[in-house]
Amino acid sequence: MKPSAPSTPRSSSASAPASASGSAFRPASTAASRAQQTLADPRWAEVQARHAAADGRYVYAVRSTGVFCRPSCSSRLAKPENVSFFDTAAQAQAAGYRACKRCQPEAAAKPGHAALMAQLCHWIATAEEEPRLADLAERAGMSPFHLQRVFKAEVGVSPKAYAKAQRRQRLQTALGDAQEAPRVIDAIFDAGFASTAQLYRDSQAVLGMTPRQYRKGGAAQQIRFGVAECSLGPILVAATAQGICAILLGDDADALVQDLQQRFPQAQLAGGDADFERWMAQVIGFVDEPTRGLALPLDVRGTAFQQQVWQALRMIPVGSTVSYSELARKLGMPQASRAVAGACAANAIAVAIPCHRVVRNDGGISGYRWGVDRKRALLQHEAELVPTAQRVAQHA
């Protein structure tokens, strides 16, 4: 049975301090007066906005339901004439209201979005099975739609993409520890995949190879590579059957080969054939003249967040630059500029994924995996190429 609401709740908005004679101010008796009182209270705007920062400062009660809530509660917004404010949950309970089961206002103040999303990330990372969006939303006290938006803004990817990345990380760890998971099938199920078919269907996207090849450090996977000279110095180009997996720049050719070997310690590194040599010529030509584009497939490997950043980098036009903060805002995560910088630094496919086009907020040239001088040379060269390319396009 639905409990009846208190007839005359006392609250910080519906009552006033006693007068000098000791008589108390009587609450407004009409709905219109109560609504006017609520609308004039600045706390009402916070409740309408479901302002999480206001949690812990006060609670609001709803006369028609007999329930009191946090300001950020995701329940249906009450009519202003039915709302009263209390400084504490204890005051609301003393007035006869009961706590909302959804937002649990009598508990300690909810953490901010960042802390709340961190808790959800921990739950996803430690859950044996991937939590449903509805379950995550219920735990967060939000609607699924609202949670999806908040999670992506704070974490950088959707809950599903984050869960997928966690499964990949667990699988990589399990495959790398033969004592913990001696069989590949054990590692697959320990990582949270529902079936072997699910993983093997997506193994190229998850690991870049089959699970058994990954366990053996890339064994049986052939990587063709070659080292040559370009306008920026020594360049190494490597490719799997799926596409270009590395474009490395540097000052020493041997160091570039060692870098590739460390990435795939058990892979079969082989010199390029005639087809690969044509690929390599295209890459070198692209580095020297990026306006021509690179019509070759890429074998891009990274976390869901890294791949999102790298895809955004490929959308930056030749001759243009953006700051780390601007790139973070374009991705819908304005506070993730440091994480964006980290993803840029992890890029192993130089120029084709143009992380060199990201600069500091003041336009200055910041760190670059292959050297600041090389980054400066790339940007200057592209700036010189753009007007020429534009004139050719106009002439055509």
Residues annotated catalytic, as ranges: 69, 355
Residue the block writes with tokens 């953006």:
322
Determine the Cα–Cα distance for residues 231 and 233; give it in Å rounded to an integer.
6
Determine the Cα–Cα distance for residues 110 and 107; give it in Å rounded to an integer.
8
For 233, the 3-state DSSP assignment is strand
For 222, the 3-state DSSP assignment is strand
For the chain, the 3-state helix, strand and coil shares in percent, each to the nearest 5, are 45, 10, 40
For residues 20, 24, 29, 35, the Cα torsion angle rounded to the nearest 10 degrees is 80
Determine the Cα–Cα distance for residues 193 and 202; give it in Å rounded to an integer.
11
Please tell me what DSSP assigns to residue 17: -
Nearest to 237 by CA among 298, 184, 186, 162: 298
Task: List all residues 6 or more positions away from 108 whose beta carbon is below 8 Å from its beta carbon.
Answer: 56
Q: Where are the beta strands (DSSP E) in the chain?
A: 59-62, 67-69, 83-86, 98-99, 222-230, 233-239, 244-249, 268-271, 322-323, 358-359
Residue the block writes with tokens 């869960």:
163
Query: CB of 176 within 8 A of CB of 215?
Result: yes
First to last CA, the chain: 79
For residues 287, 289, 292, 293, the Cα torsion angle rounded to the nearest 10 degrees is 20
Nearest to 92 by CA among 2, 1, 5: 5
Residue 129: left if φ>0, alpha if ψ -120 to 50, beta else—which one? beta
Residue the block writes with tokens 């069989």:
183
Nearest to 361 by CA among 341, 339, 375: 341
